[in-house]
Structure 1
Amino acid sequence: MPAALSLLQQRHSVPSRQLGEPAPDEATLQMLLEAAIRVPDHGKLVPFRLIRLEGTAKLRFGERLAAIAIRNSPEMSEAKQEKERLRYTFAPLVMVVVARLHADSKVPEIEQKLCAGNVAYNILLGAHALGYGGQWLTGWAAYDREAAAILGLAEHEHVVGFVHLGTPQIEVPDRDRPALADLLGTWTP
């Protein structure tokens, strides 16, 4: 099997809690991200951007999100509050992939969002190819406008995902995958 297809066959997510140091160093991250942004882009709109969360910024971001969550659900248990605070602290690096939607474009918004989603997936694939692990997560914060404001997003920008990156700390078993025969059909006129 060609190496590129073997890479696709072996790719899997590593839970963010199981991602530790090291994350890609600066030169490796630059190389990874330059490759990740090479996505199909109808209209050459570049409908995406990236935000890096690392170090203490991950905890500060989680604390601000926890404050929103607690305000919205004052009955939230202490355990859930702590989970909200620490959600972004496990992996050494979190890349926020942002869709930048161009409402005035003839390119449908769904295509623009898919373009940004391809960036997130390319980060996962590239990280795997380089020997790192990753997990693409969303959660409520990806869809919350107050969370978007914390990140400095404009009204036309939306979080596509939080891609957690680091070195796998455990061997992650692959999950069951669907059978291609159950998914593939052939259209005939």
Structure 2
Amino acid sequence: MTRTVTPWGPWEPAQLSDVAALFAVARVPWWIAGGYAVELAVGRRIRDHGDIDVLLLRRDQLTAQDVLPAWEWWAADPPGMLRPWRRGEALPCGVHDIWCRPGPGEPWRIQVMLDESDGDEWVSRRCEGVRRGVSGLGVRSADGVPYLAPEVQLYYKAEAPRPKDELDFAAVLPLLDPVQRNWLADALGEAYGAGHPWRPRLSAPLGGPV
């Protein structure tokens, strides 16, 4: 387990199996996101993780309070700061991240991220033109854990890729089929511009150099 120190206390990410068990009772869609989603897609460990992310649609945000009733929840509001998230409070569109820990003085264990939707469509908070059906936003691992589709996760990592994002992209790219590659290339162009450096690599022949 990786321990990361932040100005608001240390992070010790919960085990993936524990997070899946906690959210298994949810009656709304949810997905493991971030680096763990990439590892679920490739089927192996790639690197260490400073946190573990769960994605919810904003309309379902109170599910986080329901499945973690005895925990503390803190909203990144404004971004870059934390404040307590009150029970039953609806967080506005500018707030995307919630840090959760079992109690005062304990390490942060789970980050909940909120994303937008329009009816049956997921809508990227970074570009409203990037959409897809909620039912196609994720896939399930062999043991039934829902996780964000790899092309969608890479889309989010592509805004300003860090070394770990480049590592994740290189690990996932050989596994993407033409439909996934085309979706990601189009999404990158729509949100970040036609010159995004990942786009040429997505058009390389399958099995060729990346």
TM norm structure 1:
0.29
Q: TM-score, normalised by structure 2?
A: 0.27
Question: Which has more strand, going by share of residues?
Answer: 2
Work out which structure has the larger RCO, using CA pairs closer than 8 Å and 6 or more positions apart in sequence: 1
Larger C-alpha radius of gyration, 1 or 2?
A: 1
Q: Pick the structure with more helix per residue.
A: 1
